[in-house]
Amino acid sequence: MMRIIIGEGSCGIAAGALKVHNSIEKLITDSDTFSLSSTGCIGMCYLEPIVDIYDGETLVKRLVRVTPDKAEAIVSAVRDADLTKVEDITISRDDEAFLLGQTRIALRHCGLIDPTSIEDYKSTDGYRALKKVLTSMTPEDVIEEIKLSGLAGRGGAGFPTWFKWNAARNSKGEDKYLICNADEGDPGAFMDRALIESDPHSLIEGMLIGAYAIGAKEMIVYVRAEYPLAIKNLEIAIAAAEQDGLLGDNILGSGFSCKMRIKAGAGAFVCGEETALIESLEGKRGMPRLKPPFPAECGYMDSPSNINNVETYANVAWIINNGGGAFAAMGTENSKGTKVFALTGKIKKGGLVEIPMGKTLRDVIFGIGGGIRNGKKFKAVQMGGPSGGCIPEELLDTVIDYKALAATGAIMGSGGMVVMDEDTCMVGMAKFFLDFTALESCGKCVHCRIGTKRMQEILSRIVEGNGKTGDIELLSELSLAVKDGALCGLGQTAPNPVLTTIRYFRHEYEAHINEKRCPAGECAALRRYSIDSEKCVGCTLCARGCPTKAISGTVKKPHSIDETLCIKCDNCRKVCRFGAVSVI
Could you tell me if residue 539 is inside a domain? Answer: yes
Mean pLDDT of 195-207: 98
How many angstroms separate the CA atoms of 551 and 566, rounded?
Answer: 8
Question: pLDDT tier at 337 (50, 70, 90 boundaries)?
Answer: very high
Q: What is the mean pLDDT of residues 43-60?
A: 96
Phi, psi of 74 (to 5 degrees): -65, -50
In a domain, 128, yes or no: yes
Residues 517-570 pLDDT 10s: 999 988 988 988 999 999 999 999 999 999 999 999 999 999 999 988 999 888
Residue 69 counted as domain residue: yes
Would you say residue 318 lies in a domain? yes
Alpha carbon distance 314, 234 (integer Å): 14
Q: What is the pLDDT of residue 582?
A: 87
Report the domain count for the chain: 5
Same domain? For 147 and 256 the reply is: yes
Distance, CA of 130 to chain centre: 28
Q: How far apart are CA 69 and CA 580, in angstroms?
A: 40
> Would you say residue 157 has pLDDT above 80?
no
Residue 106 lies in a domain: no
Angle at 58 between CA 57 and CA 60, to 5 degrees: 140
Cα separation, 497 vs 390, whole angstroms: 6
Q: What pLDDT shows up at residue 217?
A: 97
* Residue 41, SS3 per DSSP: coil
Amino acid 414: pLDDT = 81
* The domain boundary residue, chosen from 328, 360, 395: 328
Q: Same structural domain for residues 88 and 173?
A: no
How high is the pLDDT of residue 320?
Answer: 98
CA distances from 422 to 389, 489, 521 (A): 17, 31, 10
Average pLDDT over residues 363-371: 96
Looking at residue 18, what is its pLDDT?
98
Q: What is the CATH number of the domain that holds 472?
A: 1.20.1440.230
Global model pTM greater than 0.85: yes
**Would residue 113 count as lying in a domain?**
no
pLDDT of the residue at 343:
96
Among 357, 392, 421, the domain-final residue is: 421
Percent of the chain clearing pLDDT 90 (strictly above): 91
pLDDT surpasses 90 at 584:
no
Q: Which of 484, 514, 544 is the last residue of a domain?
A: 514
Of all helices (H) and strands (E), which one includes residue 255? none
Across 443-472, average pLDDT: 95
For CA atoms 180, 181, 184, 186, the dihedral sign is negative
What CATH number corresponds to the domain at position 366? 3.10.20.600
pLDDT tens-digit readout, 88-142: 999 999 999 999 999 999 999 999 999 999 999 999 999 999 999 999 999 999 9
Please give the pLDDT value at position 413. 83
- Domain assignment present for 101: no
Residue 177 maps to which CATH number?
3.40.50.11540
The SS3 of residue 131 is helix
CA dist 300 and 214 (Å) reads: 14
Please, which pLDDT band fits residue 583 given cuts at 50, 70 and 90?
confident
Contact 306, 295 (CB under 8 A): yes
Q: What is the pLDDT of residue 47?
A: 98
Say if residue 189's pLDDT is above 90.
Answer: no
Q: Is the domain of 211 the same as that of 261?
A: yes
Name the most confidently modeled range: 75-79, 152-156, 568-572.
Answer: 75-79
Same domain as 322, residue 185: yes
**pLDDT tens string 162-175:** 999 999 999 998 89
In DSSP notation, 388-400 reads SEEEEGGGTT-B-
- pLDDT for 39 equals 98
Query: Cα separations (Å) of 313 from 16, 154, 334, 570?
Result: 31, 9, 20, 48
Same domain, 535 and 548: yes
Kind plus residue range of the DSSP H or E element containing 453: helix 446-463
Q: pLDDT band for position 467 (50/70/90)?
A: very high
The amino acid at residue 63 is L
Regarding whether 431 and 409 lie in a shared domain, the answer is no
Question: Is position 270 within any domain?
Answer: yes
Q: What is the mean pLDDT of residues 342-346?
A: 96
Closest CA to 395 of 383, 406, 408: 408
- Return the pLDDT at 534: 92
Looking at the structure, tell me whether residues 345 and 399 fall in a common domain.
yes
Domain around 450: 426-514
User: What is the Cα–Cα distance from 533 to 548, expressed in whole angstroms?
Assistant: 21
For the segment 422-437, the average pLDDT, to the nearest whole number, is 95
Q: Are residues 11 and 152 in the same domain?
A: no
Pair (56, 156) in one structural domain: no
State yes or no: pLDDT of 156 exceeds 80. Answer: no
Cβ-in-10-Å burial (0-12, 13-18, 19+) of 250 comes to exposed
Task: Tally Cβ neighbours within 10 Å of residue 232.
Answer: 15
Are 323 and 348 contained in the same domain?
Answer: no
Return the bridge partners of 54, or none.
Answer: 3, 59
The pLDDT of residue 231 is 97
Q: State what percent of residues in the chain have pLDDT above 70.
A: 100
109: left (phi over 0), alpha (psi -120 to 50) or beta: alpha
Mean pLDDT, all residues of the chain = 95
Asked if 125 and 274 sit in the same domain, the reply is yes
Query: Quick one: DSSP state of residue 160?
Result: B
| CA 61/CA 382 separation, integer angstroms | 35
Cβ count near 21 (within 10 Å): 23
